[in-house]
Amino acid sequence: MADRGPGTVGKRAALLVVDIQNDFCPGGALGVPDGDAIIPRVNRATALFTRRGLPVVFTRDWHPRVTKHFKEFGGAWPPHCIQATKGARFHPDLDVPKGSLILSKGMDPEVDSYSGFQAFTERGRDLESALHELGVDELVICGLATDYCVRATALDALRRGMPVRVLRDAIRGVDLKPGDSEMAEKEMRVHGARFSESRGLAKLLPNARSLHDSRHLKAANR
């Protein structure tokens, strides 16, 4: 994999915001401790990417009521993020700019899916082809939860040869077993992910691109 050095994010990067939904925040069905604390940082990153003309992509967990993902039907989890319920909505404080690309995962009742690369747009396009369409070949990842969907998404991107940078202070983990998040971070690092604090992000990003490219984003969203 190409190594850019400690420096910068490339011109074809997107921000990927993973699963910041009510059920994954405190008070939700599967609340990540302190999960909502990252939202102001995520919003700043979203604003920054938008200003620089770089795409922002959101994923969400989007389950049917009956799925093998839930304890009741043989899975690991209490019911959460059931399609079109309040728990599945993005947290009200999360900024989702109009026209943002939103991909949903976990619709198949037979399959456990944690990675954003198992998610689809409303029109059935998967993340990989949506990113390809946007001309994106690098991801900056933030969101919930470090030890599940953030981890799985980052590893899948790296497996596809995409450079990944994780915003270390804009992720939070479940830590079902203490240390899970730390281990997930280590694993992502071992596979080539870089970690940055969101505070320094502005300096890492390329300057604003042409209007043409932001039109490109809208086109891909249709």
61 sits near Zn ion (criterion: CB under 5 A): yes
Q: Would you call 186 a catalytic residue per the annotation?
A: no
- Judge contact between 178 and 142, C-beta under 8 A: no
Nearest distance, CB of residue 68 and Zn ion, angstroms: 11
Point out the residue whose Cβ comes nearest to Zn ion.
61
Degrees, nearest 5: CA angle 33-34-35: 90
Nearer to Zn ion, 87 or 106 (CB): 106
Q: β-strand 194-196 against 164-172: which pairing, if any?
A: parallel
Say if residues 62 and 105 touch (Cβ distance below 8 Å).
yes
Q: Between 60 and 194, name the residue whose CB sits nearer to Zn ion.
A: 60
Report in angstroms how near the CB of residue 156 gets to Zn ion at its nearest: 16
Spatial separation of the C-alpha atoms in residues 14 and 142, rounded to whole Å: 11
Binding residues for Zn ion restricted to 162-181, rule: CB under 5 A: none
Nearest to 32 by CA among 184, 219, 165: 184
Task: Tell me the CA distances in angstroms from 197 to 11, 88, 154, one per residue in order.
Answer: 19, 28, 16
Q: Which is nearer to Zn ion, 106 or 163 (CB)?
A: 106
Return the residues of window 78-107 that contact Zn ion according to CB under 5 A. Answer: 106
Least gap, CB of 118 to Zn ion (angstroms): 11
Which lies closer to Zn ion via its Cβ, residue 13 or residue 171?
Answer: 171
**Annotation marks residue 19 as catalytic:** yes
Catalytically annotated residue among 23, 105, 142, 156: 105
Residues 81, 106 contacting (CB under 8 angstroms): yes
Q: Which residues bind Zn ion (CB under 5 A)?
A: 61, 106
Q: Which residues are catalytic?
A: 19, 105, 149
